[in-house]
Amino acid sequence: MSAKLKPATAPDAMAAFLPDFCQMRALLLVVIIAELLAFVLTLAPMAGDQQRWGDLGLISLFIQWIALTSTAVLCLSKRWFIRRGVTITTLYSLFVVTSITALVSELAYRLMLANNFNGLAESTSHTSFILRNVAISLIICAVALRYFYVQHQSRLSIRAEARSRLHALQARIRPHFLFNSMNTIASLTRSQPELAETVVEDLADLFRNNLNTSDNATRLADEIDLTRRYLNIEQLRLGERLQTLWQIDTLPDDAAVPPLLLQPLVENAVHHGIEPSVNGGRIEINGYLDRDIIHMTISNPLTGKQTPQTKNKGLGMALENTRQRLAGWYEGEAQLETSTKDNHYIVTLTLPYRRLGEI
pLDDT tens for each residue of 35-45: 888 888 777 76
| Residue 346 scores a pLDDT above 90 | yes
Band of the pLDDT at 12, cuts 50, 70, 90?
Answer: very low
Distance CA 119, CA 117 (A): 5
| pLDDT tens digit sequence for 63-72 | 888 888 988 8
| Residue 309 scores a pLDDT above 50 | no
For the chain, how long is the longest CA-to-CA vector?
A: 99
Distance CA 320, CA 168 (A): 12
| pLDDT tens digit sequence for 255-275 | 999 888 898 889 889 888 888
Query: Which of 142-151, 235-244, 303-312, 343-352: highest mean pLDDT?
Result: 343-352
| Residue 144 scores a pLDDT above 80 | yes
Is residue 17 exposed (0-12), middle (13-18) or buried (19+ Cβ within 10 Å)? buried
Selected residue with higher pLDDT from 79 and 145 = 145
Least confident of 182-186, 191-195, 212-216, 281-285: 212-216
Query: Which of 4-18, 23-37, 47-61, 339-353: highest mean pLDDT?
Result: 339-353
pTM above 0.85, yes or no: no
Band of the pLDDT at 6, cuts 50, 70, 90?
Answer: very low
Q: What per-residue confidence (pLDDT) applies to 109? A: 82
| Residue 9 scores a pLDDT above 90 | no
| pLDDT tens digit sequence for 73-119 | 888 887 776 667 778 888 888 898 999 999 988 888 888 777 766 55
**Helices of type H across the chain:** 10-15, 24-43, 52-76, 78-81, 86-114, 118-123, 126-188, 193-210, 220-238, 263-269, 313-330
Q: How many CB atoms lie within 10 A of CB 155?
A: 15
| Residue 168 scores a pLDDT above 90 | no
Selected residue with higher pLDDT from 309 and 281 = 281
Selected residue with higher pLDDT from 340 and 124 = 340
- What percent of the chain shows pLDDT beyond 90? 13
Q: What per-residue confidence (pLDDT) applies to 278? A: 83
Please name the residues in contact with 217: beta carbons below 8 A apart, sequence gap of 6 or more: 4, 5, 256, 257, 258, 259, 356, 359
| Residue 5 scores a pLDDT above 60 | no
Q: How many CB atoms lie within 10 A of CB 348?
A: 15
Q: What per-residue confidence (pLDDT) applies to 246? A: 94
- Residue-averaged pLDDT of the chain: 77
